[in-house]
A and B are shown apart, each in its own frame.
Chain A
């Protein structure tokens, strides 16, 4: 029964996306929104890992940028049509991430972060150096076909269409994750996150579920990367750089990692602020660094965390007020 509630919310959200398209005055602004939505999905992937496993990854740009290269190679070498390439690559990334996950989730929390940083950078350097395959620091073009799943690319690349595709994708992915977490898988992974030892003592084998979470977070980031890549038709090493992972992590922390909505909020805030900053963009990193510090010091659970506690406190206040009123009535 709760599922229908979630489905309804998702439908409303999708409709909301359509409203946004109608209301937005310019195509370029819609393009910025599309970027924001893509990064929101990327942040969702990173945030999912942090939420369910309690693990911070500084290397998810590997999946975000890597998917572009993978598809690029597959299409350039004409291995299969694009319609097959997309699910095939996503599946391959999921499998690879699962294998990697089985190894790295056993590394204690803090070292895990450093490990992901190193792995991510490794692939960045690889992409920059391997001119033969990846075009080196110049990047490589990705030959997307003129029709995809029956739709002509001109239609697909319209700002309105592109925005709707990314928006709907985000809503669907968020919905799927939400439903997944309501199932036993959610409880199992939360238990492992809260107390790994006790989880084993109640009979949970802890490595596989965590590797699965890692793989899912990788695939979500890859989907975001895929959408980004379709937009640009180009794969560059810059999309693999650790700073990309880091900015996304920033969005997750600022938005709040305890819910699925948090990273999405964080991405939107980031883009809004970037837009407003405009001229001060040269020192934007310093500003984001300061914002990160401020959030962690004053509100470690980010914006959504602050909102949730505020609502909780209001509720408690209202409850004690009504309880007090009831007691008064009873006394008289």
Chain B
């Protein structure tokens, strides 16, 4: 129980007649990577929206390290160490790489923010691009910057929304390796929403499968792979 760092309990999210999430329970343990898979529109990004507070819950709670954070806003949750990246790259185009990462580090309130910013830049191979304006970066570099902004301030939980989107096979592999290393070297727990099955099954400690707003399977990668419901709904017989 004490190793459970994030717990979404009985989460439901309805809006405008759509049941985006229905009775969702998922747990994230310390230092682990939990992969979230499911078809498009299954509710994966909405889960991140719900956990970060971008969207209000209709039912259920979000518990971070034993504290119920369901009532808190986006800004408060970030300050508690709940951080996310974005599927569609969301960075500060008119600012240089260094300036925005430093800003993000500083905003987390930690004392050694300058060291933290430098560490993040180095970790994501952005240290040489410090003085480049964000909108002048290449796509892959911008994706890394998006991730860097989320990694500042030594967050406890990192919610990654399709971080591999648009990356080449090599870049995806590199990033996957990075994420695996991060969980031990940075003491962060990761919830990973991804389409790339190889990546998810490759690095996740546990996998959660979504369909139409519900969790249809949970477990280790091997367990999930073997689950007949999952095969039918998502993987198809080719898996």
Point out residues on A near B: beta carbons under 8 Å.
184, 187-188, 190-191, 193-195, 197-205
Which of A190, A197, A201 has the most CB atoms of chain B within a 10 A radius of its CB?
Answer: A201
Closest to A199 in B: B92
Q: Is B106 in contact with A191, judged by CB distance below 8 angstroms? A: no
Closest to A54 in B: B94
B52 within 8 A of A: yes
Point out residues on B near A: beta carbons under 8 Å.
52, 74-75, 78-79, 83-84, 86, 90-95, 99-100, 102-104, 106-109, 149-150, 152-153
Q: Is A198 in contact with B94, judged by CB distance below 8 angstroms? A: no
Smallest CB–CB gap between A325 and chain B, Å? 24
Residues of A within 8 A of B107 (CB): 202-204
Q: Is A202 in contact with B103, judged by CB distance below 8 angstroms? A: yes
Residues of B within 8 A of A202 (CB): 78, 103-104, 107-108, 149, 152
Smallest CB–CB gap between A133 and chain B, Å? 43
Add 10 more A-B contacts to A187-B102, A200-B75, A203-B79 (CB < 8 A). Answer: A198-B91, A200-B74, A200-B78, A201-B52, A201-B78, A201-B83, A201-B90, A201-B150, A203-B78, A205-B75
**Complex alpha-carbon distance, A302 and B19, angstroms:** 49
Closest to A186 in B: B99
- CB<8 Å pairs between A and B, sample of 26: A184-B103, A187-B95, A187-B100, A187-B102, A188-B103, A190-B92, A190-B95, A194-B94, A195-B92, A197-B90, A198-B90, A198-B92, A200-B78, A201-B52, A201-B74, A201-B84, A201-B149, A201-B150, A202-B107, A202-B108, A202-B152, A203-B78, A203-B79, A203-B107, A203-B109, A205-B75
Residues of A within 8 A of B75 (CB): 200, 203-205
With A184-B103, A188-B103, A204-B107 known as contacts, the answer to whether A194 contacts B95 (CB < 8 A) is yes
Smallest CB–CB gap between B21 and chain A, Å? 20
Q: Is B106 in contact with A184, judged by CB distance below 8 angstroms? A: yes
Residues of B within 8 A of A203 (CB): 75, 78-79, 104, 107-109, 153
Residues of B within 8 A of A190 (CB): 92, 94-95
With A194-B92, A197-B90 known as contacts, the answer to whether A187 contacts B74 (CB < 8 A) is no
- List of 3 A-B pairs having minimum Cβ-Cβ separation, nearest first: A194-B92, A203-B107, A202-B104
**Complex alpha-carbon distance, A193 and B150, angstroms:** 19
Residues of B within 8 A of A194 (CB): 92-95
- From B84, B103, B149, give the contact of A187 (CB < 8 A): B103
Residues of A within 8 A of B83 (CB): 201
Q: Is B103 in contact with A191, judged by CB distance below 8 angstroms? A: yes
Residues of B within 8 A of A195 (CB): 90-93
Residues of B within 8 A of A200 (CB): 74-75, 78
Smallest CB–CB gap between B78 and chain A, Å? 4
Residues of A within 8 A of B84 (CB): 201
Residues of B within 8 A of A205 (CB): 75
Smallest CB–CB gap between B164 and chain A, Å? 19
- From B52, B78, B92, B153, give the contact of A191 (CB < 8 A): B92
